[in-house]
Amino acid sequence: MLLPAWEMCLYGVLAVGSHLYAFYEVHQVSQKYEAAMDRRFGLEPGTLFQGLKKDPMDFEWSYWIEWGRERILWLLAGHLLVSQVSRLLVEKYKPWCLMVYGMAACWLLLGVKGFAVILFHATISFAVAQFQLSLLTWLCSLILLFTLRIPAVEEAKRKWYDTENEYYLLLFTVSVRCLFCTSFSLEYCWHGPAQKSSHSFLWMLAYVFYYPTFHNGPLLNFDEFSKQMRRQEAFSLRTNLSILIMGIIRIFFWWCLAELMIHLMYIHALYSSAPPLEAASYWALGGLALAQVLFFYVKYLVLYGVPALLLQMDGLKPPALPCCVSLMHSFTKMWRSFDVGLHRFLVRYIYVPMGGSQSSLLGTLFSTALTFAFVSYWHGGQSYLWYWGALNWLGVITENGVKRILSVSLIQELIDRFFSPRIRRRLHAVLASVSTSMLILSNLIFLGGSHIGKIYWNRIFMEGWPWATLTVLGFLYCYSHVGIEWEQKYAVN
């Protein structure tokens, strides 16, 4: 530990204490506006926590929990059964058993037309990949992604289903499948003729229709998937059973925590109404921001935790689950350690092929911009997503620019001469607190829209200057110290 123990304890106490008090303030605001939120949004009666009402306004959470209860969890249980039986009896044919099951589950859930759409995307992607031109493959992928946003095509697909929820399931599934098709096609382009047998159309179908990652990810690049799926390991039913039980307990805990948060704090209902945000105290406003990003983190521990557990049961290594957002102290760290699978995809297929950090300054700026442009478009392409992508691009290039400047030998010598390691660590936390404030702002735009970002910018940085701004940066300084210490102690990549 670089800093004195008492100093780190102080930062830890201030970080935890400020979280708890801010959440208390959010709970108070939630109670104050409960009747108004109930009339406007229809708060649901609590089932898990009796006597409390539940905020139903997070669409993604409500949507996937409802589908999970109705069908998806049962289909995942079926996948688990097929997987374990095939590993036990016919390990050699496991990929094909799981492929057939995934295709059957897709047909059952999305219907024959939904199944045909995904098969069509895979077939077109494979056909274009035969030309072995990466640019042509990307053009095909972008066109297929664009077809999901054509109003006439959207309207036609809606008519296939009785409810909007069923149509959205197809939309979300095809969006994720586009990334899987792109991954396979680019790997096909990059491998020589000797390796084409391991990149056959049958392997593409096994990859695209692999059910645990089918609807919502996480993303696993094709090379990682195929290498691990081919690897035959000793199978132990007892070991797998213990992994399953511990995994279920862990996911159940995360689910309970997420439910508790939206029972005690009406985060999303409050964000859907501007007047409470504009009237809330600075503590409540900060607490809502923390609650929003932490709920998003816990939500994805559940939504990615379930498929990650099944990947483990299948003998595969899933991408690491998201790291706690309260420990994030830079844009770069956030992108590397929140959605690890998506980060690997973006780096492998966009950032590095376009030159990445090895190219000139303009090349690095361009490859980074292209990466964030794609991820903004893939998420939906709405105007607030472009703002979010632009903020993240600015954040990443600013952080990398500062690192490059500080790594210049002359500057490094001056820093080493005039600043002790402890002073350098504190200055690092000062810079990290500024970066974290912009990171939270960008995440609020992503989760709540540009109007939420404007409210926070005006209240914290414009109307609140200097005291509210400096107080926020002071607490973020404490959070940054905790995050930096955690990163150094546990060597988080």
Catalytic site residues? 379
- Angular region, 51: left φ>0, alpha ψ -120 to 50, beta rest: left
The span from the first CA to the last CA of the chain, in angstroms, equals: 19
What is the rounded distance in angstroms from the CA atom of residue 483 to the CA atom of residue 69? 36
Take residue 209 and report the two structure tokens written for it: 């229709």
What is the rounded distance in angstroms from the CA atom of residue 57 to the CA atom of residue 45? 13
What is the rounded distance in angstroms from the CA atom of residue 422 to the CA atom of residue 420? 5
Helix (H) or strand (E) holding 217: none
Answer whether 479's CB lies under 8 Å from 326's CB. Answer: yes
Question: For the chain, what's the residue count?
Answer: 493
Beta bridge partners of 44: 54
Helix (H) or strand (E) holding 156: helix 151-158
- In 214-327, which residue ranges form alpha helices assigned H by DSSP? 222-230, 237-264, 267-271, 274-279, 282-313
Secondary structure (3-state) at 317? coil
User: How many helices, marked H, and strands, marked E, lie in the chain?
Assistant: 22, 2
The answer for residues whose C-beta is within 8 angstroms of residue 150's C-beta and 6 or more apart is none
Answer whether 381's CB lies under 8 Å from 149's CB. Answer: yes
Answer whether 243's CB lies under 8 Å from 313's CB. Answer: yes
Helix (H) or strand (E) holding 53: strand 53-54
* SS3 per-residue string spanning 323-373: CCHHHCCCHHHHHHHCCHHHHHHHHHHHHCCCCHHHCCHHHHHHHHHHHHH
Chain Cα centroid distance, residue 320: 11
Secondary structure (3-state) at 280? coil
Answer whether 258's CB lies under 8 Å from 298's CB. Answer: yes
DSSP 8-state class, residue 422: H
Answer whether 282's CB lies under 8 Å from 471's CB. Answer: yes
